[in-house]
Structure 1
Amino acid sequence: MSLESVRAWLAEHAPDIAIIDQGESTATVADAARTLGVEPGQIAKTLSVRIDGRVVLIVARGDARLDNRKTKAAFGGRPRMLGADEVFELTGHRVGGVCPFGLATPIPVYCDLSLKDFAQVYPAAGSTTSSVMLTPERLAALVDAQWVDVCQPPMAEGAAEAAE
């Protein structure tokens, strides 16, 4: 049902954006990047979080991590990831296909500045095999998102290996 809600939402709000269904898993950032042939950072992951009792969606580049200090400064509280059942109940999308399009309930959407590192990004489109391609600015405009700075910069590959 989720893919259908995204398809209907895009038909109404952005009929020029095509859903890309690769027929292979795009459920994780690594799967999506490999399947779509792009950098992991270009995957626009949608995080479903609760901050002091309110639920928000934060869309960030795929290889970025939420920074608790920045998130608390931006939202006034520490973020807590929602469980899979609650994500589905509120968004209508299963984990692996969560996106800010075609939501089951109205949820405020925020886009992390990290998305602006790329000319094109690829958020999911409601299923574990589908996505769309668009500019970060168009993504934010379509879902009436506010821009925030709540992520840590991604580590360089060498730095990530050294940290392990």
Structure 2
Amino acid sequence: MTPIGSQIIALLAQHQIKYQQQSHSAASTCEQSAEQRQLPMALGGKSLLFRSRYTANSFHQGDFAMIVVPADQQVDSQKVRRFLGCQKLRFASSAELMAIAGVEKGALPPFGSGLIDVPMYLDEALKSNQTIAFNCGVTTESIIMAMSDYLSLVPAVWGQFCRDE
């Protein structure tokens, strides 16, 4: 397990939160992860790390931001850009993902703000889920837990980031 995965397990134990940990074959896409977990894809939390260029008037003043959306949804980068108030926005590179979070693509857990020094923003569509599942720092380990417990651990800043259907 990666350092961030170990930190998540320790955080869950510290707060006496019940969770299920699953070891499975490598799953770097949302579809693969849902299949390995044998859960609906909508219960997955898809964590995306963005690199941003901001202005002095921007809501978001960092170089990076984590956006978490339901795994069955696509992120609308224009909505993210408008929400953050940044001039430019792109997905973080594999090297940036490794440098900031110590994980490879597909393994980023939805724990910015507290465990890595990146502001995190949650899509409002997640509010309707009772459960959240996510890769825990590697593509072969998943955590499944109650959404209410997850929200008790992370500072939730809500926005609308999913593409309109």
Q: TM-score range by the shorter chain?
A: 0.7 to 0.9
For structure 2, the residue ranges without an aligned partner over 5 or more in a row are: 55-62
Deviations 1:38-71 (A, max 9, x none): 1112111110001225201111101211213322
Residue 67 of structure 1 corresponds to 76
RMSD: 2.3
Percent identity, please: 23
More helix by share: 1
Moved over 6 A (4+): none
Task: State the aligned residue count.
Answer: 153
Map of 1:162 onto structure 2: none
Distance in 1 between the 2:34 and 2:103 partners? Answer: 20
Alignment partner, residue 109 of structure 1: 120
Q: Deviation string for 1:2-54 (max 9, x for gaps)?
A: 33233233333x33233512232232111111111111121111100012252
Q: Which residue of 2 aligns with 1:24?
A: 25
2:108 is matched with 98
Conserved 8 A contact 2:74-2:163: yes
Q: Between Structure 1 and Structure 2, which shows a larger proportion of strand residues?
A: 2
Report the TM-score, using the length of structure 1 for normalisation: 0.80
**Could you say which residue in structure 2 is the equivalent of 1:43?**
44
Supply the AA of the counterpart residue of 2:89: P
| Shift of residue 137, structure 1, vs aligned partner | 4.2
Q: What runs of 5+ residues in structure 1 fail to find an aligned partner? A: 156-164
Provide the TM-score with structure 2 as the length reference. Answer: 0.79
C-alpha spacing 1:19/1:134, structure 2 compared with 1 (3 Å): closer
Other-structure match for 1:121: 132
